[in-house]
Chain A
Amino acid sequence: MDVARLLTVSVGIFAMITAERLPVGLLPAIAAELGVSTGTAGQTVTAPG
């Protein structure tokens, strides 16, 4: 049970850290699809962090 709880928290942390940085690798695609510049798309990383 304890291990399950710990894993829950651990994976939760993984999700959060990943969420924070995720757009870094996706910027060109996002910028292209939503029709904004790469710089503007970069705000998706800068804003939350």
Chain B
Amino acid sequence: MIAAFASILVPLLVGRLDRCVLLAVLLAVMAAASLVSALAPAYGVLIGSRVLVGITIGGFWAIAGSLAMRLVPGPSVPRAMVLVFGGVSVAAVLGVPAGTILGDWLGWRAAFGALAALSAAVLVAALVFRPRLPAAEPVRPRAVVAQLRNPALVAGIVATALLVTGHYGAYTFVSSALLDISGVAGALIGVLLLGYGVLGLVGNLLAGPRAARVPGRVAAVIGVGIGATLALFPLVGATPWGGAALLLVWGLAYGGAPVTLQTWVMAAAASCSTSRSRSAPRRAAWWWTHRACPACRAVVRRGAGAARPGDGAAGARHAGRPVAVVTGPVAMVDEPGKACEHAEAPVTAPDASAPAVGRVVGTEDSTPLQFSVALAPEQYLQLDDVVVTVRPVPGIGPVLTAGVVTEVRARHEGATFGSDVFLIADGVLPAQVQEIAEVTTTRVEPECYVPPTPGSIATRATGEERARALYFDQMDLKVPVGLGRDGDPIYLNLEFLDGTRGGHVSISGISGVATKTSFALFLLYSIFRSGVLGRRSVNAKALVFSVKGEDLLFLDHANTKLDEDLVSAYATLGLPAGPFPSAGFFAPPTPDDLSGRPYVSGRTSGVSAFWWTLAEFCAEELLPYVFADAEDERNQYTMVIHQVAGRLRREATPVGDGGVLIGGQVLRTYDDLVEFISDRLTDEDERRDWAGPVTGTGTINAFLRRLRSSLKPLRTIVRGDLPDTPGRRVSTDGAQVTVVDLHNLPERAQRFVVGVVLASETRKKEAAGPGGLLFTMLDELNKYAPREGSSPIKEVLLDIAERGRSLGIILIGAQQTASEVERRIVSNSSVKVVGRLDPAEAGRPEYGFLPPSQRQRATLAKPGTMFVSQPEIPVPLAVEFPFPAWATRLSESAGPPPAATNGHANRARDPFARLPAAPADDDDAPF
């Protein structure tokens, strides 16, 4: 009893005391106590001295575990283990019989006296040789208490207590029983006990390998064996021979008890699992030889006598390979996470309440930037989970290493052949399923790049720790971009979105599956609605070019699919769930229609038609944007374009409703204008003035061909035949989000619109100076800013990419393939986002920011899952963003938009606007 408590209490009490001093003290107490026993005048004195012996034994076991490792340098450890634990084996077999024989010969006091002399001799040796045993981390009480919450462990401990108590209750009186019941001569008792010890060795040998597989069953057999032996003793043991035979059977049965019980208890102690060596037989050998798990000793310590290294594993084989005896201890010693939580291994969990998922493995290299975690039973880690581990560094203190799981592997440890899996599944072959998660470091705090120590406890990061691991704690202004795999929000640092430290977002992914547009809109929604902009939100606008149908024309309608779950997902992100509160919509006018109706079918109100008047076309030199294909740049007529554009600007004078008067003609339509330019250029006299002095006819003809081919695409959006209304100008002033619907326009017209609008917004920003923010969302960026060639639109986009951040224009570009977009635009993007990727595309260097496993995963990303890379976090984070809370098509629209939409839209569509009766003040724009 005393030793059991002492083995728990002594380590707690002595803390970091040098183990050498502790050993000397224990030996001194032992010698003194034995001397007192030898001289005890009365029973009370004797029992008192025995209590002292109990304390020394318990204290000794508490430090024994790591003795050998600390005594000698690494490579000699296995031999040292054999030598040190040889003392245990010899004591079990010889100690008691020798004492008994001595007592029979010279009296019991002599036996105690001899023990006192032996202890004193060892004490002297210890003081002379001074084995250095530096203190390890002290054991923490809560580590001991935590183990007791494991029901399987408690069951094992209770079984151990019952079996050991029963056994010792009888064994204590074995000499009396042999003397009085069996009638064995006193001189023979020592010899019989020797036989008992030897058969104990045999029992240990037999039980060891079986206990590794079915410890509970072996324990039951042992219990029945001991019980039967004792029950038969009064009958069979009444003769000397019968008594001797029963004693030997008893020895055989109990010999297997320590290894069995300890295997059971340690298998139940979940945290011990990481220390298991590779194959089951080796594991058995390990259990077998490893008697010294200091605190587990506390519960099974009775068995120590039968624990002998080197004698058990001889028969252990696996896959035809004999397992060397010493490999048990080696495997154990080499893994610092060795025994169990009781051990003197450092207790490293930063927060005792944090859920430990496993320990850093020692079989794979642990580096400051990547390490692996073996998962404890019943625990799991999935890709993208955030894991932290802490390592104490002398002089610096605890160093926290946090990372994101980038790979998880599960395998059978102990299986050699592919077919083993069937045997393992049938329970024939022992094996362990072990999962190992590979973690890529995201943060080391403080900055001391040391590898996490194998064996340290790894925990799933939550709350503060997760925020620290992902740098959220350093973000003053953070924009939620979605939920991580763990269901908690993932943030972007606004400083890398608003131009403070970076700007621009590049989103890549396959059309249709990658949900690029939805993500970009969600990002905008999050920026505007999370409140992160504060007062700046008044001047923050978004301009969205929509090329895919009318999906974006319902941004300001609530979504009918909005349910409780979605609302709570938005709430988790700190966002209200609803439509965009302020949105304006522009669409080209209906072709061949003089009322200026917007060319949309789904949405009937709130959309303004946009076009440019001929007057603007001339005055603002928009002609170059007509020639915005890459092929135009390769031709010779670039100069002609600029000559003609300059000429138009100088000579055209506006007449009512957007027409121009030029060269005595009034031009009302784009066709008129093209015809006029073509006349001027084909006229021999005027050609020199209009196209420049040295331009050849071939070049002019090429220019005219190209100009005429623009008639069809552009005639609906460049015209002077519609009533001019203020609502027709694409402007971001009227609403927070402005959507320009391009899907009904031919590609050439789309380029024209994008080029002209972006150029004018850039000019406006330049004039207005810093302050406001304009997020520009452009899909199919590869079309507008291809890697090869140059065009006016690409110039504008490059300008925005390189300078826009200081102007307050942030480009949110989306493309199927980042490899086809101008490098400087992609490289200027602070935030890179990837959805589902084509496998061939995923291998390109443009996606070098994705680690290999994420590239592979990007090829199977589901709609709604994006990988977001931001400058501060070295690993892209997988996020799932919620389904839009706004309608994405007419069928989802829950009703009319809120009143705050742009007011000029309805007026633009007013068919009576041209009538003189229309009140003049109706046209005044509120901006």
Contacts and interface: CB of A to CB of B under 8 A. Distances in A.
Interface string A1-40: 1111111111111111111111111111111011110111
B662 interface: no
A41 B326 CA distance: 41
B107 A24 contact: no
A8 B118 CA distance: 11
A5 B71 contact: yes
B99 A13 contact: no
Given A18-B95, A28-B175, A49-B3, A12 B87 contact: yes
Nearest to A49: B3
Interface residues of B: mostly helix, strand, loop or mixed?
Answer: helix
Given A9-B131, A19-B119, A22-B115, A44 B91 contact: no
A45 B57 CA distance: 13
Interface stretch (B44-52, B449-457, B630-638, B869-877): B44-52
B272 interface: no
B654 interface: no
Interface of B: 1-4, 23, 27, 30, 33-34, 37, 40, 42-43, 46-47, 50-51, 53-57, 60, 64, 67-68, 71-72, 76, 80, 83-88, 90-92, 95-101, 103-104, 107-108, 111-112, 115, 118-119, 121-122, 125-126, 129-131, 168, 171-176, 179, 186, 189-190, 193, 302, 304-305
A16 B60 contact: yes
A20 B3 contact: yes
Nearest to B190: A25
B172 A45 contact: yes
A21 to B, nearest CB: 5
A29 B364 CA distance: 59
Given A13-B88, A14-B118, 14 more contacts: A2-B71, A10-B87, A12-B60, A12-B119, A16-B56, A18-B95, A21-B305, A23-B50, A24-B100, A25-B97, A29-B104, A29-B108, A33-B108, A34-B42
- Interface footprint category on A: 35 or more
B172 A24 contact: yes
Given A15-B122, A27-B173, A49 B168 contact: yes
A15 B119 contact: yes
Contacts of B37: 44
Given A10-B87, A17-B87, A47-B51, A4 B96 contact: no
Given A17-B305, A20-B53, A34-B46, A9 B115 contact: no
A6 B3 contact: no
Given A15-B115, A25-B99, A48-B2, A20 B57 contact: yes
Contact of B43 (A9, A19, A40): A40
B523 to A, nearest CB: 66
Contacts of A12: 23, 27, 60, 87, 119, 122, 126
A49 B90 contact: no
A49 B91 CA distance: 15
B193 A25 contact: yes
A41 B90 CA distance: 26
Given A13-B64, A49-B3, A24 B171 contact: yes
A46 B47 CA distance: 10
A43 B60 CA distance: 21
20 contacts: A9-B67, A9-B131, A11-B121, A14-B91, A16-B91, A17-B305, A18-B98, A18-B99, A18-B118, A20-B3, A23-B108, A23-B172, A24-B100, A24-B174, A25-B96, A26-B99, A26-B100, A28-B175, A34-B46, A38-B176
Contacts of A42: 172-173
A6 B72 contact: yes
B88 A17 contact: yes
A46 B164 CA distance: 11
A39 B177 CA distance: 11
Nearest to B177: A38
Given A11-B125, A20-B3, A26 B91 contact: no
A20 to B, nearest CB: 5
B499 to A, nearest CB: 67
Given A12-B126, A14-B91, A26-B108, A19 B115 contact: yes
Contacts of B56: 16, 19
B302 A49 contact: yes
Contacts of B112: 22
B72 A19 contact: no
A6 to B, nearest CB: 5
B3 to A, nearest CB: 6
Nearest to B80: A6
A40 B173 CA distance: 10
Contacts of B108: 23, 26, 29-30, 33
B4 to A, nearest CB: 8
A25 B30 contact: no
B131 A14 contact: no
B176 A21 contact: no
A33 B108 CA distance: 9
Contacts of B80: 2, 6
Contact of B57 (A2, A16, A34): A16
B118 A48 contact: no
Given A19-B119, A24-B171, A25-B190, A48 B57 contact: yes
A12 B3 CA distance: 16
B101 to A, nearest CB: 8
Contacts of A11: 87, 118, 121-122, 125
A23 B34 CA distance: 11
A9 B84 contact: yes
Contacts of A16: 30, 56-57, 60, 91
Nearest to A21: B96
A22 B95 contact: yes
A17 B92 contact: yes
Contacts of B1: 46-49
Contact of A48 (B50, B64, B186, B189): B50
Contacts of B97: 25
A6 B84 CA distance: 6
B186 to A, nearest CB: 8
Contacts of A2: 71-72, 76, 80
A19 B92 contact: no
Nearest to A41: B43
A32 to B, nearest CB: 9
Contacts of B92: 17
B161 to A, nearest CB: 12
A14 B129 CA distance: 18
Contacts of B27: 12, 15
A47 B50 contact: yes
Contacts of A40: 43
A25 B105 CA distance: 12
Given A24-B100, A24-B172, A26-B103, A4 B129 contact: yes
Contacts of A4: 125, 129
A25 B100 contact: yes
Contact of A19 (B23, B34, B126, B171): B34
Nearest 7 pairs of A and B residues by beta carbon: A25-B100, A48-B54, A18-B95, A17-B91, A13-B87, A10-B87, A5-B131
Contacts of A28: 175-176, 179, 186
